[in-house]
Structure 1
Amino acid sequence: MTGDDEPATRMNWRDFEKDPLPPLLRTAVQTFVAHGYHGTSTRTLAAAANMSVPGLYHHFASKQAIIVAIMDHAMDDLWRRSDAALAEAGSDLDQQLRLHVECLALFHAHRKELAFLAATELRSLEPVARARHIAARDRQERMLVEILRTGTAHGAFVVADPRQAARAMITMCTGVSQWFDAAGPLSAAQIAEDYAGYAERIVRR
Structure 2
Amino acid sequence: MATAADLSVPGLHHHYISKQSLLRAIWRFAMNDLWEREGGGRAEHIAARSRQQRLMDALPEEGAANGLFSTPSPREVSRAVVRMCTGVSQWYRPGGELSPAHLAEQYRVVARMTVGAPATT
In structure 1, the partner of 2:116 is 204
Match for 2:59: what amino acid?
Answer: I
Gaps of 5+ in 1: 1-23, 25-29, 40-66, 68-120
Q: Does 1:131 pair with 2:43?
A: yes
CA RMSD in angstroms comes to: 2.5
Gaps of 5+ in 2: 5-19
> Which structure has the greater CA radius of gyration?
2
Q: Does 1:35 pair with 2:25?
A: yes
Q: What is the CA distance between 1:36 and its match in structure 2? A: 3.9
Q: What is the alpha-carbon distance in structure 2 between the residues aligned to residue 37 and residue 151 of structure 1?
A: 36
CA contact (8 A) 2:57 2:74 kept: yes
Q: What is the CA distance between 1:124 and its match in structure 2? A: 2.8
Q: Does 1:189 pair with 2:119?
A: no
The 5-angstrom pairing of residues 1-205 of structure 1 reads 33-36=23-26, 67=30, 121=31, 123-125=32-34, 126-127=37-38, 128-204=40-116
Q: What is the CA distance between 1:160 and its match in structure 2? A: 2.2
Q: What is the alpha-carbon distance in structure 2 between the residues aligned to residue 186 and residue 36 of structure 1?
A: 27
TM-score by length of 1: 0.42
For residues 129-156 of structure 1, the C-alpha deviation after alignment (integer angstroms, 9 at most, x for no partner) is 1111011111111111111111011100
CA contact (8 A) 2:60 2:78 kept: yes
Match for 1:124: what amino acid?
Answer: D
Query: Residues 159 and 38 of structure 1: is their aligned pair in 2 closer, same or farther, counting only changes over 3 Å?
Result: closer
CA contact (8 A) 2:71 2:115 kept: yes
Q: What is the alpha-carbon distance in structure 2 between the residues aligned to residue 38 and residue 142 of structure 1?
A: 27
Match for 1:173: what amino acid?
Answer: C
CA contact (8 A) 1:37 1:124 kept: no
Q: What is the alpha-carbon distance in structure 2 between the residues aligned to residue 194 and residue 161 of structure 1?
A: 22
Higher RCO (CA < 8 A, seq sep 6+): 1
In structure 1, the partner of 2:10 is none
Query: Aligned pair count?
Result: 96
Query: Residues 37 and 189 of structure 1: is their aligned pair in 2 closer, same or farther, counting only changes over 3 Å?
Result: closer
Q: What is the CA distance between 1:162 and its match in structure 2? A: 1.9
The runs of 4+ residues in structure 1 deviating greater than 3 Å are 36-39
For residues 22-43 of structure 1, the C-alpha deviation after alignment (integer angstroms, 9 at most, x for no partner) is xx9xxxxx8962424666xxxx
Match for 2:52: what amino acid?
Answer: Q
